[in-house]
Structure 1
């Protein structure tokens, strides 16, 4: 394989970079293998109810919308649980920075699948934050008190005792969580297809859980730098 050569690089640098390139190629192949296995999953569990959400309608007024309607013209629906419930004074900075990046991709994603961002706050509060943040492409939807977050781990209410201990959730308390869930509609049935469960899996010490890395441009850019991620975590504002 022919390799690039940058100005004034040493032979030691090129040898190390070539070895790293081999690892990067192997990682790319592994990502493709995992994606193929994901696509080949058997049908997931049937969604037990047509959850009713709330969104801003065409007349800029709140309207009720069923989960089945969120698919629009598509057979695939992606819901991302945004940690911005009514009990939160401030928006989750991790979720917010991720949605900053996804907003740009949403205009393209809509050509292939339906994508909506769900949170427990009232729709007016979500719409106000989207406007302030400049999210012009994202569709924010309120769970409006339905059971979606509980059923699909957008909160901690169905966590096992072990998971509660792992996430340090005190007994008698619950909070919202972040997770992607993908659903497939076929023959009038909606079934769960996949969820980003890796965010709840154990990690090695000092290891980032990396559950949403493939859709998060910030972490990918930081991984290109000499400093890496370090202990950096994004803020909602840097004033």
Structure 2
């Protein structure tokens, strides 16, 4: 196919994707929220709770991160760092993983991450939210919570997978001849997202 034909075909596919996303937003608007507890986590200061991270907002975005051993989770988190200051104008934001807070701090410092991280180790949070696999491994994704009077409810969530919409790098690579090809150095390690 010549360049113009391919361009037109891809433009049509992108319009179809945009239409599906609109349907997804409409479907989400009708969801009955899931009431959840005010889960306890740990950070370097001690015990913190889910409610502590809403800040001045009624909404909170929580990332389910598999920890320092997952190269894909690290790549996703590099992306959150770039948009964090924009996200927090609209909602609270935090990342949770099973790692000890000292491990989280070391990784965050090595990557220049600015967002808050907490450990869910010892809690049922990841399992209750559906981010533990049938084999007992951690799963990556995101849950969105809302404060409604005295209650905390989950209003949406989705899992992550390599090449998804939550990491823009893959979409830039898709525009290159040959697509993503070899992943960047950070991705040549074990791809733990598909192992659990």
TM range (shorter): 0.7 to 0.9
Greater strand fraction, Structure 1 or Structure 2: 2
Per the alignment, residue 38 of structure 2 pairs with: 50
Q: Deviation of residue 144 (structure 1)?
A: 4.2
Per the alignment, residue 179 of structure 2 pairs with: 228
1:72 aligns with one of 52, 55, 59: 55
CA deviation string 1:10-59 (max 9, x = no partner): x9432332233222223222223323322x13222211x22111224xxx
Supply the distance in 1 between the matched residues of 2:185 and 2:65 (Cα, whole angstroms).
15
- Please report the RMSD computed on the Cα atoms of aligned residues, expressed in angstroms: 2.3
Counting matched residue pairs gives 188
Matched, 1:114 2:92: yes
TM value normalised by structure 2: 0.85
For 1:103-142, what aligned pairs fall within 5 Å after superposition? 103-135=81-113, 137-142=114-119
For 1:43-192, what aligned pairs fall within 5 Å after superposition? 43-47=32-36, 49-56=37-44, 62-84=45-67, 91-135=69-113, 137-156=114-133, 159=134, 169=135, 174-192=136-154
Q: Deviation of residue 105 (structure 1)?
A: 0.5
Supply the distance in 1 between the matched residues of 2:122 and 2:32 (Cα, whole angstroms).
28
Matched, 1:23 2:13: yes
Structure 1 spans left out of the alignment, 5+ residues: 1-10, 57-61, 85-89, 160-168, 200-208
Structure (1 or 2) with the larger CA radius of gyration: 1
Supply the distance in 2 between the matched residues of 1:13 and 1:83 (Cα, whole angstroms).
41
Distance 1:123 1:16, change over 3 A: closer
Q: Deviation of residue 113 (structure 1)?
A: 0.6
TM value normalised by structure 1: 0.71
Supply the distance in 2 between the matched residues of 1:120 and 1:140 (Cα, whole angstroms).
10
Q: Deviation of residue 183 (structure 1)?
A: 1.1
Matched, 1:219 2:170: yes
The one of the two structures with greater contact order (alpha-carbon pairs below 8 A, sep at least 6) is: 2
